[in-house]
């Protein structure tokens, strides 16, 4: 498994990462164990989760039980900031809440440190300097090795990096954001901002919730049990006429080259070295195999130009 350096950190991560949003919820514990063990056996070393995944803590709990001695072999990433109680009091990025959230995550994960601790989304109620100072304390205490952000705008990333530099605080080393052939908006401002600051990019929804895998068909309801079948409002966001047109043209593109949509989705994202790892969930070992195999296509300049024509 090829690895890349995550931004200006010292973390080398597999170009295919494992997303933990299925654990503790969509799949049971035994299935989660098979996926995690299978990922590690196949060379995946980045596992990304969040405290909110698995119905508020279930994903971290499952990973804590599964990893055991294998914990030292992986780069363990998690996030904080989304609501962790029904009242909405356990949320955000204040200094007080971060101290609570990291202790809770460490306990669920059964580990003494988190390799990459990420702000899940902006907290408009808390100045970013307060957040960065709190995270810097965690880094200095050895509870967290590096920090990252998710779902921040380019301007927010620029502001946070400037504050970290001015005050000698640990900076964000990565941005985790939606990025795929059907969602290229971050290329306009966020990706250039990340590159200028030596940050790595970690795409989520690289397969557009499955629309880029071929499992969904135009005019046909999503198959039972799939993500878009369970989240009809989410399905409406992806299953648009605009996206179906692009998917149709991309399917013809890969067919002419004897490739698959999965290969295109992964390998196209990895065309840019700023993308350190493509994070994708999996519910079976077979999906893991497919994801890993999909990262090996080096697209030619002509291929990339054609993809741009189709998707931009």
Kindly list the domain boundaries of the chain, sorted by start residue: 3-211+261-299
3-211+261-299 sits in which CATH class?
A: alpha beta
pLDDT of 234 reads 67
Instruction: Please list the ranges in the chain whose pLDDT falls under 50.
Output: none
CA dihedral 230, 231, 235, 238 (to 10 degrees): -120
**Rounded to an integer, what distance in angstroms lies between the CA atom of residue 20 and that of residue 17?**
10
pLDDT of 229 reads 67
Whether 179 is catalytic: no
pLDDT of 180 reads 97
pLDDT of 239 reads 83
Point out the catalytic residue in the list 53, 97, 179, 216.
53
pLDDT of 295 reads 95
């Amino acid at each position: 498994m090829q690895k890349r350096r995550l931004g200006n950190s010292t973390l080398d991560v597999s170009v295919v990462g494992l997303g933990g949003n299925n654990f503790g919820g969509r799949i049971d514990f035994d299935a989660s164990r098979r996926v995690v063990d299978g990922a590690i056996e196949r060379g995946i070393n980045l596992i990304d989760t969040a405290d909110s995944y698995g119905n508020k803590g279930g994903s971290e709990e499952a990973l804590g039980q599964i990893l055991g001695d294998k914990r030292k072999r992986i780069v363990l990433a998690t996030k904080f900031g989304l609501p962790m109680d029904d009242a909405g009091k356990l949320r955000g990025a204040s200094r007080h809440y971060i101290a609570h959230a990291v202790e809770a995550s460490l306990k669920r994960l059964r580990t003494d440190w988190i390799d990459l601790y990420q702000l899940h989304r902006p907290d408009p109620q808390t100045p970013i300097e307060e957040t960065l100072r709190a995270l810097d304390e965690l880094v200095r205490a050895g509870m967290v090795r590096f920090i990252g952000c998710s779902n921040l705008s380019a301007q927010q990333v620029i502001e946070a990096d400037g504050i970290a530099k001015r005050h000698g605080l640990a900076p964000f080393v990565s941005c985790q954001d939606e990025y795929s052939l059907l969602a290229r908006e971050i290329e306009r401002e966020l990706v250039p901002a990340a590159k200028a600051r030596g940050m790595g990019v970690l795409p989520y929804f690289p397969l557009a919730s499955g629309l880029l895998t071929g499992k969904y068909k135009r005019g046909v309801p999503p198959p039972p049990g799939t993500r878009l079948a369970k989240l009809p409002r989410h399905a409406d966001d992806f299953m648009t006429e605009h996206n179906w047109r692009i998917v149709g043209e991309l399917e013809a593109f890969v067919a002419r080259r004897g490739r698959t949509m999965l290969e295109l989705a992964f390998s196209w994202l990895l065309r840019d070295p700023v993308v350190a790892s493509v994070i994708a969930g999996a519910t079976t070992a077979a999906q893991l195999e497919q994801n890993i195999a999909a990262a090996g296509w080096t697209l030619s300049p002509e291929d990339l130009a054609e993809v741009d024509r189709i998707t931009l």
